[in-house]
């Protein structure tokens, strides 16, 4: 016994002094040192928090290269998120000094080299969010630790400007917009130049993101400025073709912001905005997040990308040739629209209040308004065709969520998958539907029992939360998390979600222009979960029937 104890102690000691670690790392800006953590027997991880990838940005300017530093930069704390409105939009939080990234590097018995790299772009409506995500008792949503450990990949999470400071635009050269997208691009380019020193393979980089981050990933594949910087991309619940991803009349919102700040709206406007203090500028970008069927929330998300002739030289649908060289996964949650339609038509979440069919008609009328009465009539017929004569309240409520999901996420994602597949001759395209029911489904407002996967429900599984906080989840949730981490990291390694070392629950076939195959991901995923032509009838309506109707096409 004694000898065994000594052996254990000696082994632990040996493990500790032999901890695989990068130690001090040389980057283009100077030396950085992170924290080394022990994850298990012969398993360590170096974590670097708050490495600058650009200088403090000038107001409404593209990011600038960091001047560098002397000595060793201690990269042990997350930096502040970019200046943004708080949750209630009553004040601001964060800093203009926010262009930093975080890196998780797993090691086995020796220090890693040439690992695949996954770069995360957070979501938050281009209005809020940070590279580390929300945190509860120092458990950060976007900690890369579980993905890095389980998938044996490097995870990087980046910060970028949001709100007015990230996206305000006059639609011309005086305030072109897209500053936040340039920040993301600059971070990706930094990773490409520096990740080898961290044990990463610069020719094996995947960008991934969710919601506005998913749309950002899509923009990063479509811009001509990222040629050769990354190989693969994953868009979760958001693509560049979403109706909220591009603002085609950004000047209108810029003038609203100017009026709130007592700036003139004529040719003195930009000079006045540039002189305004950043907190006031940020607050002036607050949005009212109450919707109605006649004025749905999706149209209020005014801070978005612009067609600036530089980052985006043209309409996103005309830029898919630029994405031809990246492997691409895009997918949605089966009730992504629930969060949004619940704000427009609150009665859908109430078991006690009936939802009027008229509310659904008004919402459809808003979504189809360029086509007038013909658009609405067609849409209404399409969405009620399976109703029978006496639809239940649940049918009406669910149909409203389906309409929101289709219009805000599902249809644009199918269109993006199609354009990617049509242009990708040497790369692959994959489509998924995430349908693990919300954990609160049936526990009361705002989650009736019929709610599936709401917007952002996928994040906790991709980031392995059922493993980091096991008491908050059931074993089936750990299955979902295991499946998603396997698909995502296999894809990052090989461009094929089925190959790369981790076992998957079903072989996920590529999406082709004729096959339109996809996998449905939930705790029951198996070989019966491969499907085809997601919501074809509704995709056909929005992409073909509606556009062919006469009407005012100018947005």
Ligand X SMILES: *[C@@H]1O[C@H](CO)[C@@H](O)[C@H](O)[C@H]1NC(C)=O
Give least dist CB 320 to ligand X, A.
Answer: 3
> Is the Cβ of residue 130 or residue 199 nearer to ligand X in the bound state?
199
Angle at 375 between CA 369 and CA 381, to 5 degrees: 130
Of positions 419, 462, 484, 546, contacts ligand X by CB under 6 A = 419
Give least dist CB 231 to ligand X, A.
Answer: 7
Q: Judged by CB under 6 A, does residue 423 bind ligand X?
A: yes
CB-based contacts of 69, cutoff 8 Å, min separation 6:
29, 30
Which alpha helices (H) appear in 497-544, and where do they start and end? Answer: 536-540
Give least dist CB 431 to ligand X, A.
Answer: 16
**Could you tell me which stretch among 208-216, 273-281, 340-348, 417-425 binds ligand X (CB under 6 A)?**
417-425
Number of other residues whose CB lies within 10 A of the CB of residue 490: 23
Q: Judged by CB under 6 A, does residue 116 bind ligand X?
A: yes
Largest CA distance in the chain: 87
Give least dist CB 109 to ligand X, A.
Answer: 17
First to last CA, the chain: 79
Give phi and psi for 52, each to the nearest 5.
-70, 130
Give least dist CB 220 to ligand X, A.
Answer: 15
Give least dist CB 149 to ligand X, A.
Answer: 15
Nearest Cα residue to 206 out of 236, 162, 238, 180: 236
Site string for ligand X, 75-114 (x = CB under 6 A): ----------------------------------------
- Answer yes or no: 280 catalytic: no
Q: Judged by CB under 6 A, does residue 74 bind ligand X?
A: no
Q: Judged by CB under 6 A, does residue 292 bind ligand X?
A: no
Q: What is the DSSP string of 305-335?
A: B---SSSS-S-GGG-GGGGTTSEEEEEEETB
What residues form DSSP beta bridges with 454?
335
Which DSSP helix (H) or strand (E) runs through 283?
helix 278-283
Residues across the chain: 555
> Is the Cβ of residue 128 or residue 419 nearer to ligand X in the bound state?
419
Q: Judged by CB under 6 A, does residue 201 bind ligand X?
A: yes
Give least dist CB 164 to ligand X, A.
Answer: 30
Give least dist CB 155 to ligand X, A.
Answer: 14
Which DSSP helix (H) or strand (E) runs through 344?
helix 338-344
Tokens of 402: 């389906």
**Could you tell me which stretch among 268-276, 346-354, 415-423, 544-552 binds ligand X (CB under 6 A)?**
415-423
> Is the Cβ of residue 154 or residue 284 nearer to ligand X in the bound state?
154
Nearest Cα residue to 279 out of 532, 475, 96: 96
Give least dist CB 423 to ligand X, A.
Answer: 4
Which alpha helices (H) appear in 368-449, and where do they start and end? Answer: 372-384, 393-405, 411-423
Give least dist CB 183 to ligand X, A.
Answer: 25
**Could you tell me which stretch among 189-197, 279-287, 314-322, 449-457 binds ligand X (CB under 6 A)?**
314-322
Which alpha helices (H) appear in 103-178, and where do they start and end? Answer: 145-151, 163-167
Cα 4 to Cα 106: distance, rounded to the nearest angstrom: 30
CB-neighbour burial class of residue 103 (10 A; exposed 0-12, middle 13-18, buried 19+): buried
- Among candidate residues 131, 169, 211, 237, the one labeled active-site is 211
Of positions 28, 61, 77, 203, contacts ligand X by CB under 6 A = 203
Nearest Cα residue to 477 out of 455, 490, 492, 462: 462
| Residue 366 contacts residue 294 (beta carbons within 8 Å) | yes
| Residue 293 contacts residue 357 (beta carbons within 8 Å) | no
Site string for ligand X, 318-337 (x = CB under 6 A): xxxx----------------
> Is the Cβ of residue 227 or residue 526 nearer to ligand X in the bound state?
227
> Is the Cβ of residue 98 or residue 417 nearer to ligand X in the bound state?
417
Of positions 204, 226, 349, 382, contacts ligand X by CB under 6 A = 204
> Is the Cβ of residue 248 or residue 445 nearer to ligand X in the bound state?
248
**Could you tell me which stretch among 196-204, 388-396, 403-411, 478-486 binds ligand X (CB under 6 A)?**
196-204
Cα 11 to Cα 428: distance, rounded to the nearest angstrom: 46
SS3 45: strand
Question: Which is it for strands 135-136 and 139-140: parallel, antiparallel or unpaired?
Answer: antiparallel
> Is the Cβ of residue 118 or residue 480 nearer to ligand X in the bound state?
118
Give phi and psi for 431, each to the nearest 5.
-125, 140
- Among candidate residues 336, 359, 454, 458, the one labeled active-site is 336
> Is the Cβ of residue 128 or residue 424 nearer to ligand X in the bound state?
424
- Among candidate residues 66, 185, 338, 455, the one labeled active-site is 455
For 68, 81, 104, 186, 192, the CA distances from 198, given in Å and listed in that order, are 18, 24, 9, 18, 11
**Interface residues for ligand X in 42-61 (CB under 6 A)?**
none
Q: Judged by CB under 6 A, does residue 493 bind ligand X?
A: yes
Q: Which residue is nearest to ligand X (CB)?
A: 422
Site string for ligand X, 357-386 (x = CB under 6 A): ------------------------------
- Answer yes or no: 211 catalytic: yes
Helix axis angle, 393-405 relative to 357-367, nearest 10°?
10
Please work out the total of residues on this chain that contact ligand X, with binding judged by CB under 6 A.
Answer: 12
Of positions 422, 440, 456, 530, contacts ligand X by CB under 6 A = 422
> Is the Cβ of residue 263 or residue 415 nearer to ligand X in the bound state?
415
Q: Judged by CB under 6 A, does residue 496 bind ligand X?
A: no
Q: In this structure, what is the dihedral angle of CA atoms 225, 126, 47, 465, given to the nearest 10 degrees? A: -130
> Is the Cβ of residue 64 or residue 318 nearer to ligand X in the bound state?
318
Residues in contact with ligand X by CB under 6 A are 116, 201, 203-204, 318-321, 419, 422-423, 493
Give catalytic residue positions. 211, 336, 455
């Amino acid at each position: 016994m004694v000898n065994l104890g000594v052996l254990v102690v000696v082994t632990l000691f040996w493990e500790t002094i032999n901890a695989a670690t990068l130690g001090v790392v040389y980057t283009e800006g100077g030396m950085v040192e992170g924290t080394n953590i022990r994850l298990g027997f012969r398993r360590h991880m170096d974590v670097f928090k708050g490495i600058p990838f650009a200088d403090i940005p000038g107001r409404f300017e593209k990011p600038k290269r960091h001047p560098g530093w002397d000595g060793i930069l201690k990269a042990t704390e997350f930096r502040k998120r970019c200046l943004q409105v708080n949750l209630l939009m009553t004040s601001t939080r964060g800093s203009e000094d926010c262009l930093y990234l975080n890196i998780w590097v797993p090691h086995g018995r020796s220090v890693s080299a040439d690992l695949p790299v996954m770069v995360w772009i957070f979501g938050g409506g281009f209005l809020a969010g940070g590279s580390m995500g929300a945190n509860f008792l120092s458990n950060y949503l976007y900690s890369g630790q579980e993905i890095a450990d389980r998938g044996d990949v490097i995870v990087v999470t980046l910060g970028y400007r949001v709100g007015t400071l990230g996206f305000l635009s006059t639609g011309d050269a005086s305030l072109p917009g897209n500053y936040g997208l340039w920040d993301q691009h600059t971070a990706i380019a930094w990773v490409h130049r520096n990740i080898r020193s961290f044990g990463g393979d610069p020719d094996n980089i995947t960008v991934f993101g969710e919601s506005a981050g998913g749309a950002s990933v899509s923009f990063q594949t479509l811009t001509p400025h990222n040629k050769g910087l990354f190989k693969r991309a994953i868009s979760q619940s958001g693509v560049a073709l979403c109706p909220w991803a591009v603002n085609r009349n950004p000047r209108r919102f810029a003038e609203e912001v100017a009026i709130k700040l007592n700036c003139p709206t004529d040719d003195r406007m930009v000079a006045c905005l540039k002189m305004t203090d950043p907190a006031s500028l940020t607050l002036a970008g607050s949005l009212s997040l109450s919707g109605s069927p006649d004025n749905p929330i999706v149209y209020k998300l005014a801070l978005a990308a612009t067609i600036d002739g530089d980052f985006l030289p043209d309409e996103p649908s005309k830029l898919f040739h630029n994405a031809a060289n990246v492997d691409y996964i895009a997918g949605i949650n089966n009730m992504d629209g629930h969060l949004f339609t619940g704000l427009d038509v609150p009665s859908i979440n109430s078991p006690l209040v009936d939802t009027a069919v008229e509310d659904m008609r008004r919402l459809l009328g808003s979504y189809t308004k360029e086509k007038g009465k013909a658009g609405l009539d067609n849409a209404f017929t399409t969405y009620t065709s399976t109703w029978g004569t006496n639809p239940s309240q649940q049918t009406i409520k669910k149909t409203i969520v389906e309409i929101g999901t289709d219009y805000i996420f599902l249809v644009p994602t199918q269109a993006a998958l199609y354009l990617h597949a049509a242009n990708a001759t040497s790369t692959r395209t994959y489509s998924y539907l995430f349908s693990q029911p919300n954990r609160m489904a049936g526990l009361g407002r705002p989650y009736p029992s019929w709610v599936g996967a709401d917007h952002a429900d996928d994040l906790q599984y991709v980031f392995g939360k059922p493993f980091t906080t096991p008491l908050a989840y059931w074993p089936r949730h750990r299955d979902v998390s295991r499946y998603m981490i396997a698909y995502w990291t296999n894809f990052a390694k090989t461009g094929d979600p089925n190959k790369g070392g981790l076992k998957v629950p079903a072989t996920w076939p590529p999406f082709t222009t004729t096959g339109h195959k996809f996998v449905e991901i939930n705790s029951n995923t198996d070989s019966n979960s491969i499907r085809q032509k997601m919501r074809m009838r509704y995709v056909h309506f929005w992409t073909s029937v509606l556009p062919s109707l006469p009407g005012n096409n100018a947005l």
